[in-house]
Amino acid sequence: MTIQPSPKVLPAADPQVAQLCARGWRITEESFGAELRITPGVRQQLARIDTPDLCTRPLVADDMSCVLDLDALTLGDYPGGVATAHAPLTRKTACPTPTRRAWGAFRDSELVAMTWFDMDASGTFAEIDFTVVAPRWRGRGVATALKAAAIVALANAGVERVRTGGSMRNTAIIRTNEALGFVIDEHWVTLEE
User: Residue 69's pLDDT is what?
Assistant: 98
> How sure is the predictor about 184, in pLDDT bands with cuts at 50, 70 and 90?
very high
Distance, CA of 65 to CA of 48 (rounded, Å): 31
Sign of CA dihedral 5, 10, 13, 15: negative
pLDDT in tens, 138-158: 999 999 999 999 999 999 999
User: Residue 147's pLDDT is what?
Assistant: 97
pLDDT in tens, 60-91: 999 999 999 999 999 998 888 899 999 999 99
User: Residue 4's pLDDT is what?
Assistant: 60
User: Residue 52's pLDDT is what?
Assistant: 73
Find out if CATH 3.40.630.30 is the number for domain 33-187. yes
Residue-averaged pLDDT of the chain: 94
The closest alpha carbon to 83, from 171, 169, 179, 175, belongs to 169
The answer to whether the pTM exceeds 0.75 is: yes
Q: How far is CA 118 from CA 26, 99, 101, 162, 192, in A?
A: 32, 6, 7, 10, 29
